[in-house]
Chain A
C-alpha cells in the first residue's frame, strides 16, 4: 500500500508500484490478457489526460464516496491520476462562479473530446425543478453537456435506471441518463454503489482501445455485468446441495449456507461482486451473510423488494400491494374450485327438478 497513516492530505499522485498494481487489477477485472497490461499502462500514462466532467444530480454521493474512500488507495487515486477531473462538485477546490467557469471552459475547449460521468437521476417532472445547480435544472445541464461529450458514463443505479428516486410512485419523475440522451454513447455502471473497479475498467478500456466496452442490452459492460451472481457465488455449492439459512442467525446462517431462502437476489442479478469484491478486504454482501438485494438491476427498488422474500408481492394497480404470490394463487384456485362446485351443483339440481336425461336428447347435425 502506498498510503500511510501520516499522510493526511488528499495526495493525488500514486507511485509506480501502486500504479502498476492498479492497472493489473483493472486488467483482471476486464478479463484481458496480461500481455495487454503494458498497453493499459501506456494509455493511462499518456500525456493527454482525458478531461472529465462529473455531474451530480439526484443522488447521495455514495458512488463518489465508494470510489474515493476505497481502502485500496491505488484505484481511487489511479482514477484521479489518469483523468483530468475538471468538474466534480464533491472534490473540486473551486466553488460558485469559479466552478461554473471551469465547467464551461471544459465544454468549450474540449467539445466532443471529454468524458462525461453522471451520478444521480434526473428529475423531469414539473420542468425538472426538483434538482437545480447554479440556478439551472438537471435536465438543462445534461442537455447542454451531453451532446458535447465523447461518451457518457452513467455511474450508479440512479444515473442508469433512476434508482430510489424513480421508485414507485416516482414523485419527481426521475429518469436515468439513457432515457434522456440520444446521439452520445452512454454506458451504464449500475450498482448502489458500483464497484470502483467496474468504473475504472470502463475508463481504462476507453483510453486503451478508444471505444467503450461491449455491453449487454441494458447498457452494462459485459466484463463486469455479464454473469449472474448466483452462478459464480461462493455459496453455490450449498444451494445445489440443499443447505439453506432458513432465517438470519440460525444454524445454517452461522455456518455460511446459501441465503436463497432469506431473499438473496443473486439468482436474478448480474454483477462481478463475487469475483471483484469490495474495499480491498475481499468482501461483498453475501460473503458477510446478507443476501444480494439486486442493486445492479433496473428498478430494483420496485422489483427486488421485499428484500427478504424470494418473489415480489402481487400488486393491483390503484389498490396497491395485496398479498404474496402463492396466497393469491391459492385464493384464485379456491374461487375456481368453488365455481366448479356450484356449477356442478346447479347442473345436478336442475336434473333432479326437471328429470331431464340427456340420453334421450336428439341431435341433429
Chain B
C-alpha cells in the first residue's frame, strides 16, 4: 500500500487548536477557583492578591480563547476546503450521507468507514459548529461579567441572560460542556487514530494527513 501525504490543516487552524487547549485548561482551573476560592490567609497586609491574580489569568486566557474563536470564525469563512463551514455541516446530500455513515461507524454497525474524508467527518464537524456556537455564548457571558459597565456587552448580556447572576450560571454550566467535550473529543480522536492509520493525531501538529494512493 502506498500512502501519500496531503496537506489538511493550515497553520492558523493548528494555532487555533492549541491556543484553545491552553485557554481551556487555564480557564477551567482558574474558573473553578474563582467560583469557590479557598481562604488564602487570615493575615492582613500580606499583599498576595491570590483571587485578583487568578481573575487576571482568567481574563488573559479569556482573551486568548476569544482570539482563537475569532480565528476559527475566519477559517470557517475563508479557510481551506477542510476548514470551511460547508464541509462541516450535513447540508448537502453527500455530507448528510457521510454523517449517517459516521454515526453508524461509531455505533459499530459497520466497519467500512468507507468515505474517508481529508477533513472532519460530518458528525464531528457538526459537533464542532455546536461547540463554536457555545463558545460564542461563553465569550458573551464572560465579557458581560468582566465588563459589566460596557454598554455593548451589557446589551448582549441582558438580551441573552437577563442579569449578571444568570450569566454567571450559564457561564459555569457551559464550562462543564467544554470539560465533557474534551473527554469525548480525546476518546474519539484515539478511537479514530486506531481505526484509520491516516495520522489523525499528528495532523494537528504537522498539518498533514496520509491517505492511500489510488491504485490503477
Interface residues of A (CB under 8 A from B): 216-218, 226-228, 239-244, 246, 251-252, 255, 257, 260-261, 265, 267-270, 294, 297-300, 303-304, 310-312, 314, 325, 328-329, 332-333, 336-337, 340, 343-344, 346-347, 350, 356, 358-359, 361, 363-365
- Residue from A241, A337, A358 in contact with B195 in the complex, judged by beta carbons closer than 8 Å: A358
Give a binary string over B155-168; 1 marks a CB under 8 Å from any A CB, 0 the rest: 10010001111101
Inter-subunit contact A240/B39 (CB<8 Å): no
Determine the distance from Cα of A243 to Cα of B29 in the docked complex, in whole angstroms.
20
Question: Is B86 interfacial (CB-CB < 8 Å)?
Answer: no
Task: Number of B interface residues at 8 Å Cβ cutoff, please give it.
Answer: 53
Determine the distance from Cα of A336 to Cα of B178 in the docked complex, in whole angstroms.
12
Given A217-B155, A246-B39, A365-B212, A240 and B163 contact (CB-CB distance below 8 Å): no
- Residue from A303, A325, A358 in contact with B163 in the complex, judged by beta carbons closer than 8 Å: A303
A-B contact list, 6 entries, CB within 8 Å: A242-B39, A242-B51, A268-B168, A311-B169, A328-B176, A358-B111
Question: Is B116 interfacial (CB-CB < 8 Å)?
Answer: yes
- Residue from B36, B112, B163 in contact with A310 in the complex, judged by beta carbons closer than 8 Å: B36
B183 neighbours in A (Cβ, 8 Å): 333, 336-337, 340
B162 neighbours in A (Cβ, 8 Å): 298-299, 303
B111 neighbours in A (Cβ, 8 Å): 356, 358, 361
Nearest residue (CB) in A for B196 is A358
Inter-subunit contact B179/A240 (CB<8 Å): no
Inter-subunit contact B37/A244 (CB<8 Å): yes
Inter-subunit contact B158/A346 (CB<8 Å): no
A336 neighbours in B (Cβ, 8 Å): 180, 183-184
Give a binary string over B32-50; 1 marks a CB under 8 Å from any A CB, 0 the rest: 0001111111101011111
B184 neighbours in A (Cβ, 8 Å): 336, 340
Inter-subunit contact B50/A241 (CB<8 Å): yes
Inter-subunit contact A243/B212 (CB<8 Å): no
